[in-house]
Amino acid sequence: MRKDAERKLQEREHKYREAHRSDSGLFMQALEGAGYVIGTAVVKVVDAFNGAFNYFGRTVADSETRHCSQKKSEDIGITENERRILLIGRTGVGKSTTGNTILGEDVFVADTSGESVTRKTEYARSLRYGRNLLVVDTPGLFDTSIPNNQTMKEIAQCYSQTAPGLHAIIFVTEIGRFTQQEKDTFDFFLTHLGKEVIDYMIVAFTGKDRLDHKKRTIKQFVSNLKDESALRWLLKRTEYRYTAFGYGGDRADREAEVIELLEMIDNLVKENEGSYYTNDMYKRNEKLLKERWEEEKRKETEKLETEIQSAKKSAQNEFEEKQKELEKKFENQKIEHENNMQKLNAKFNEQESDIEKIKNKNKQDLEEMRREIEQREMALTVRRIETERDIEIRLREEAERKLFNKEMTFREEHRSDSGFLASSHVNRKGYRIN
């Protein structure tokens, strides 16, 4: 089995180099012709000598000096054979390990515990099979220590380092663990990066070793997925562009997986006619998202104002009702007092001296009653004003809190199927993406 894998790897390497011949390809071909196995260590040695090498053999003319196309990372420019790759996904799915496999060396810090170790966007370059690779590793979503909006800020910063754009965006997920959170992760990126990102996306499964132990292939795994499964849904969205990586086993198997991915990216570049996922696409989608949010915010503000006016009107009506009750009560007391006065007047002749005292007492009582009513009316007016103010403050604080929470969760909870961004988007193959 190992010999078959090595033979297939050699055949694919030969085919790949023939299709993408370059100075670095001639360098590797020369060494291969001499019977050497080419690895990243050899390229590093050549790089240490500023890329110069001599080969004395039949494959390349004797004493002919050629210069390896790989330069130091900071000197590698935008070339025809450059491939700029972005790794995205949920925390702990193996993005950093996948990046190291693609690069052919351990550059990104990886952890097998499922905990995220990537806090900032990281970049690494490598020359692999005639291709200058720029691989970008990003923090994962749903990390308890990093908010999702902070992760998106980190990803947004990578566009200046990957100009003029990305050739491929690799969505990394684990075999057999595509949960609702994985789907939410995909939806989150789709919402923030825009539906154009679908045209540049490849799904990379990690944990292929599990299939290898069961002597199953990734194609068999995919073919057995249920039509209604979330993973089948994801693969349909990406037009079944997928590959798989294992982290154990033979080096030949791992290298074959890398070549398969590079060929898939090359095909993707051809399908996209050499276009990239650019910063302009991201900014355009962010602008649409911001405009959508501003519209939602405007509606919420209008709703708040309506609620405030309604609350004010309700408080005003309640105040008027209580005022009417108070006036009615005062009127009844006044009538009762007048009746008492009439009774007293009837007895005036009989009890003149006592009547005077009683009249004075009633007059005082009436004055006190009036003062009490005036005080109650004043207190009621103050209470009404305070009530209206408290209602307005409470409603505004509640609305601001809702707006804040909604803004924080808007990007996470907004589904691409809502269609508010580009419900009629059609990818370059002519398929409508819902």
Domain of 249, CATH number, reads 3.40.50.300
Q: Which amino acid is at 295?
A: E
Q: DSSP per residue over 219-235, as a string?
A: HHHHHTS-TTSHHHHHH
Name the domain boundary from 220, 249, 277: 277
pLDDT given for residue 151 in this prediction: 67
- Pairwise CA distance, residues 234 & 174, whole Å: 13
Highest mean pLDDT among 180-194, 305-319, 378-392, 401-415 belongs to 378-392
**22 pLDDT higher than 50:** no
379 shares a domain with 306:
yes
Helix (H) or strand (E) holding 2: helix 2-19
Residue numbers of the domain that contains 30: 2-65
In this structure, is residue 424 part of a structural domain? no
8 Å CB contact between 187 and 416:
yes
Residue 426 maps to a domain: no
Instruction: State how far the Cα of 433 lies from the Cα of 236, in Å rounded to an integer.
Output: 10
220 and 354 within one domain: no
Cα dist from 131 to 40, 234, 262, 374, whole Å: 13, 29, 9, 91
Q: Are residues 112 and 235 in the same domain?
A: yes
Q: Among 65, 86, 120, identify where a domain stops.
A: 65
- In this structure, is residue 223 part of a structural domain? yes
- What pLDDT is stored for residue 99 in this prediction? 94
Residues 202 and 58 in one domain: no
Q: Each residue of 83-122: pLDDT tens digit?
A: 999 999 888 889 899 999 999 999 988 765 445 556 688 9
Do 95 and 59 share a structural domain?
A: no
| Contact predicate 265/167, CB 8 Å | yes
Q: Total domain count for the chain? A: 3
The gap from C-alpha 258 to its chain's centroid, in whole angstroms, comes to 27
Residues 177 and 227 grouped into a single domain: yes
Please give the model's pTM, rounded to 2 decimal places: 0.52
With cut-offs at 50, 70 and 90, classify the pLDDT of residue 169: very high
- The pLDDT value recorded for residue 424 is 46
Q: What integer pLDDT is reported at residue 83 of this predicted model?
A: 94
- Spatial distance between the Cα atoms of 387 and 389, rounded to a whole number of angstroms: 5
**411 in the same domain as 310:** yes
Last residue of a domain, one of 26, 41, 65: 65
Assess whether pLDDT exceeds 60 at residue 54: no
Q: Quickly state the pLDDT bin for 344 (edges 50, 70, 90).
A: confident
Q: What average pLDDT does this structure show over 161-165?
A: 81
Instruction: Based on the fold, state whether residues 164 and 268 are members of the same structural domain.
Output: yes
pLDDT for the residue 362? 86
Same domain, 113 and 157: yes
Is 430 among the domain residues?
no
Separation between Cα atoms, residue 405 and residue 409, nearest integer Å: 6
Rounded-to-integer distance, Cα 83 and Cα 420, Å: 32
- My answer on whether 229 and 362 are in the same domain is no
pLDDT of residue 139: 83
pLDDT at 306 over 80: no
306 and 211 in a common domain: no
Helices (H), 214-278: 218-223, 230-237, 251-271
Q: Is 270 part of any domain? A: yes
pLDDT tens, 59-75?
Answer: 332 322 222 223 333 33
**Where is pLDDT greater, at 387 or 10?**
387
| Residue 258 counted as domain residue | yes
Note whether 213 and 178 are same-domain residues: yes
**pLDDT tens digits, one per residue of 352-370:** 777 777 888 888 888 888 8
3-state secondary structure of 35: coil
Flag whether 182 is in a domain.
yes
Is the model's pLDDT at 145 over the cut of 60?
Answer: no
CA distances from 308 to 179, 220, 296, 381, 407 (A): 43, 60, 18, 19, 22
Flag whether 336 is in a domain: yes
Q: Give the C-alpha separation, 169 to 237, whole Å.
A: 14
pLDDT band at 148 (very low <50, low <70, confident <90, very high): low
Q: Tell me: cis bond preceding 164? Omega within 30 of 0 counts.
A: yes
